[in-house]
Amino acid sequence: MTDTARSCPNCGAAVTFAPDVISDRCVFCESALIAGSASTEHADRVAPFLVDRNAAAERLTAHLAGQWLAPKHVRETRSPEKLKGVLVPFWVHDAVARSRWDAMVGVHWYRTETYWVTVTRDGKTTRERRTRVVQETEWFPTEGTHGATYRNHLVSGSQGIPEGEANALEPFDLGGALPYAPELLAGWVAESPTIPRAQAASVARTELQGAEVNAVRAFLPGDVSRSVDVQSTIDVDPGRLVLLPVWVATYQWEDEVHRLLVNGQTGELVGAVPKAWAKIALVVVAGLFAAALLVAFILAFAAAVQ
C-alpha cells in the first residue's frame, strides 16, 4: 500500500498521508485534511469525541501522578497538545447463537447437626451439647438448549490497537454515532481498517462463543454447577464499520515507546506506564535493608533478655 498525496487547500503544501490514514492535519498550517480515497466510503458511522483534549489530559495527569515508579518526566507530563485524537476503526457485529448444553447442577439443602465441645468455666471442665447448620449439595445431571441474539459486538479494525486493549477501552456508546460524513473527520486523525472484515468476523465469533458459555452458566438451574459443556453455533453478520474516538498519548523511555489510550466518550484509560528500573531496584534494596535491621533488632532484643 502506497502513501496518499494531497494538496493543502489553505497553504498549498503537498501533504503525504500514511497508507492507513484517511484524515489528518497539514503539518505546515494545521488545516484539516481528508484524503480523497474510496476507503472513506466504507465507514458506516462516526462517533464524535465527547471528552475533549483538556479533560483527557487531566485524566492522564491524575493517573500518571500516582505512578511513583514511573520515570519523573512521564509522571510530570502536563502537555495536552501532545495528545492525538484518533478516530479508530471498529467492526460492529450482530450475531445469533444457538447452543446445546449439558451439565451437573447442584442444589443446596441444609441440615441441623448436633456436636459436643469441651469448655472450662471457673476452673471446671464440662462437655456441652451444641447445634449448627450444615450445608449439603445434591447433584443432578441436566441438559438443554439456549439461544441468544447479540447486538453491536465490537472488534478492533486497527492493527495498532490489539483486541485485548480495544476490549479494555469499551464500552462505546454506538447510539451517539452519526452517519458518515467527511466533515466529521475534519481535524482528526482517522484510520482506515487494517483488520480485514472476514478476520474481524472470526474474532467476533470466538469472543461470542465465550459470551455464550457465560450466558449458559448464568442460565443454568440450581445453586452451583460443574462439568458444563456448551456446543454453540454462532452466526455472525458481515459487520459494519464505525470510527470511534480515542485519545492517544505516547511516552519515550529507554528507547521504547509506551502508549496510553483514553476512550473519547467515557474517559476510560488503558495502557501500561513505563517503570524506572532504578527506582524499583532502590525499593528492593531499601526493603532488604529494612528487613536486615528488623532481624538485627530482634536478635539484639533476644540477647538482652537472656
Q: Are strands 224-236 and 4-7 parallel, antiparallel or unpaired?
A: unpaired
Give me the mean pLDDT over the 51-62 stretch.
Answer: 87
Instruction: Go through 143-182 and write b for each residue having 16 or more CB atoms within 10 A of its CB, e for each that does not.
Output: eeebebebeebbbbbbeebebebbeebeebebeebeebeb
Residue 28 has pLDDT above 50, yes or no: no
Residue 214 has pLDDT above 60, yes or no: yes
pLDDT attached to residue 40: 45
Residue 71 CA to residue 64 CA, distance in Å, equals 10
Residue 283 has pLDDT above 50, yes or no: no
pLDDT attached to residue 240: 95
Residue carrying C-alpha cell 449448627: 132
Question: What is the chain's mean pLDDT, rounded?
Answer: 80
Instruction: Give me Rg for the CA atoms of the chain.
Output: 30
Question: What three-state secondary structure class fits 96?
Answer: strand
Instruction: Write down the domain spans for the chain.
Output: 37-103+139-275, 105-138, 276-306
Residue 216 has pLDDT above 80, yes or no: yes
pLDDT attached to residue 152: 96
Give me the mean pLDDT over the 263-277 stretch.
Answer: 77
Higher-scoring residue by pLDDT: 167, 10:
167
Lookup: cell for 272: 501500561
The pTM is what? 0.73
pLDDT attached to residue 13: 41
- Residue 271: which pLDDT band, with cuts at 50, 70 and 90? confident
Task: Count CA within 13 A, CB hemisphere, residue 109.
Answer: 4
Report the percentage of the chain scoring pLDDT > 70.
67
